[in-house]
Amino acid sequence: MILAFTILLVLTSAIMILLVLLHKGRGGGLSDMFGGGVTSSLGGSSVAERNLDRFTIGVGVIWFACVIALGLLMAYQGS
């Protein structure tokens, strides 16, 4: 069971990294430092951005649940 949650945690962590990198930069952060401040008219529509937000939140909830489940499994494994 611990192995399954560990594999799921690694997969969701990699997906979270990719999803966060896909988000549009809001400005004023590291994205401006590396040329992310250039605005483009080719950016995604608001619907695509909203769907990306929803998917990111969903994967984040799964990631958080895996962290909690692994913590509980490891805490009660010894007793």
pLDDT in tens, 15-55: 999 999 988 776 655 555 566 555 555 555 688 888 999 99
45-59 confidence digits (pLDDT tens): 688 888 999 999 999
Q: What's the rounded Cα separation, in Å, for the pair 63 and 9?
A: 6
The domain ranges of the chain are 1-21+45-79
pLDDT at position 25, please?
A: 72
pLDDT at position 36, please?
A: 56
Q: Are 60 and 23 in contact (CB under 8 A)?
A: no
pTM of the model: 0.73
pLDDT at position 48, please?
A: 85
pLDDT at 6 over 60: yes
Size of the chain, expressed as the number of residues it contains: 79
